[in-house]
Amino acid sequence: MPGIKDVAELSGLSVATVSRALSGKGSVSAESRERARRAAAELGFIPSYHAASLASGRTQNVGVVVPSVHRWYFSAVVEGISATLLDAGFDLTLYNVSEDDHRRRNILNDFLLRKRVDAVIAISLELDETEIQQLLAIHRPIVGIGGPLAGASTIRIDDAGTARAAANHLIQLGHSKIAHITGHAMYDQDFQLPGTRQQGFEAAMNAAHLPVRPEWMVTADFTIQGAYATARKLLGATSDRPTAVFAASDEMAIGTILAARDFGLRVPEDLSVIGIDGHELGEVFGLTTIDQDARGQGTLAVELLLAGLNGNSADPGHHRSYPTEFVIRNSTAVPPAADRA
């Protein structure tokens, strides 16, 4: 059976260079990496990752903890994480909390401490100090996405500022009768996302001296189906309805558009709708949105994590604000003439 020395001899590279090239660790030129891979393929050489793990103390595996993998935002982040880890030669173990407190405790206080992973990425999970210190104590770097975590590198968008920008877009178009669809209280458990976006909406309305009507502040579950049911109730009144809706996610904005069609309301002529996310269905529905590039957040999380594992992170506790992009499509326009008057 061919060994790494045979690959080195055939490729004309040193054993150390071949090892780095085939493991994906360390600095190796693209040309040397390709020479090592061609030689390994020609000889039928298969690297022993078990032996490499024993030698280095590394598993080449990263644990990713997510609240609910079937939700679009979380799955999009995981896509970015998975692709970047695979390119770097790492495996991924996915832990789906599924809004189950008992499962969450088991994952954070048991599974992740069994030394089966080299590092942890936590998506939209507000780990407490004890949970973080347990992982850091066994030298498991952490990167968080969605909010600050003490002692860990984190990535987040400016949720309040993004919500203000979405509301201001509607206000600048001339809307004064604006409703807001936010998330149920249960989604405020980690980093208070619905509440933070609601605060941004209210700040924009207050700054413009516009009323925030309680009956137009409604909740859903961040899904198309849930928002569709909520929006049907919101838009069902014929005497007085909003001329615009700011939904705290693109899926809820799409549910609102579908509900509006049920009542014969044209978007945007009768009702403007805006969301936040950058969901791929947004283009299909012509949805104006603020794109937070969920996949890009996943990619950046892996880059920060690998830098920490390789000792290249100057500040492992740094909190990074991730940029967003305002995408204006045809779901928003000036309000109907009667309401402008």
Domain assignments of the chain as residue spans, ordered by start: 4-47, 58-157+294-310, 159-291+326-340
- pTM of the entire predicted model: 0.80
* Cα–Cα separations (whole angstroms), residue 85 to 92, 256, 302: 7, 36, 7
pLDDT at residue 340, as a whole number: 58
Q: How many CA atoms lie within 13 A of 312 on its CB side?
A: 8
Tell me the average confidence (pLDDT) per consecutive run of 10 residues in the chain, 341 residues long. Answer: 83 83 74 88 71 54 88 94 90 82 75 78 86 78 88 91 98 97 76 90 98 96 95 88 97 98 96 97 97 96 86 66 96 83 46
Contacts of 103 (CB under 8 A, 6+ apart): 97
What's the pLDDT tens digit per position in 236-294? Answer: 977 789 999 999 999 999 999 999 999 999 999 999 999 999 999 999 999 999 999 99
Helix (H, G, I), strand (E, B) or coil at 48: coil
Helix (H, G, I), strand (E, B) or coil at 242: coil
Q: Tokens standing for 194?
A: 């619905």
Homologous superfamily, domain 58-157+294-310: Response regulator (3.40.50.2300)
Report the CATH number of the 159-291+326-340 domain: 3.40.50.2300
Strands 325-327 and 319-321 turn out to be unpaired
Could you write out the DSSP letters of every residue in 140-195?
A: --EEEESS--TTSEEEE--HHHHHHHHHHHHHHTT--SEEEEEE-GGGGTTTTHHH
The answer to whether the 58-157+294-310 and 159-291+326-340 domains have the same CATH topology is yes
**Three-state helix/strand/coil letters over 255-285:** HHHHHHHHCCCCCCCCCEEEEEECCCHHHHC
